[in-house]
Amino acid sequence: MAEAGGTEESPWAKAEAGFTGKEYSKYLDPCQEAASRSMKCLHRNGGDRQLCTDYFQAYRDCKKQWMTERSGAKKKDSKGFLSR
């Protein structure tokens, strides 16, 4: 999903405001679009996983990038044990 300027916005950048402001018990997945596409592919192809490998890889890449960025945000925001 390329933006108008040609740069690609990460899933975390798109969902950060919703994620940081959400209720504690509410689940938010910025990769839901990729997950939905992979499920649609499975339904469309009668459950043949071999035909949907590109969709699965896109979802895994999205999740990996999201987790990396989320981890970095947590580290940046944490004060650490020794910095009281």
Q: Yes or no: say if 9 and 3 are a contact pair by the CB < 8 Å rule.
A: yes
| Collapsed DSSP state (helix, strand, coil) of residue 45 | coil
Boundaries of domain holding 42: 29-74
pLDDT bucket at 2, cuts 50 / 70 / 90: very low
- Can you tell me the distance from the alpha carbon of 1 to that of 7, in angstroms, rounded to the nearest whole number? 9
DSSP structure class, residue 9: P
The residues that bridge with 8 in the sheet, in sequence order, are 2
Q: What is the pTM of this model?
A: 0.63
**Number of domains the chain contains:** 1
Q: Has residue 36 been placed in a domain?
A: yes
**The pair of three-digit structure tokens given for residue 31, joined into one six-digit string:** 């990769």
Residue 1: what pLDDT? 40
What's the mean pLDDT when you consider all of the chain? 79
Q: Has residue 37 been placed in a domain?
A: yes
**The pair of three-digit structure tokens given for residue 58, joined into one six-digit string:** 């896109």
- Mean pLDDT across 3-32: 65
Q: Has residue 80 been placed in a domain?
A: no
DSSP structure class, residue 78: -
Per-residue pLDDT tens digits for 45-81:
999 999 999 999 999 999 999 889 888 888 887 766 6
Q: Has residue 34 been placed in a domain?
A: yes
Residue 69: what pLDDT? 87
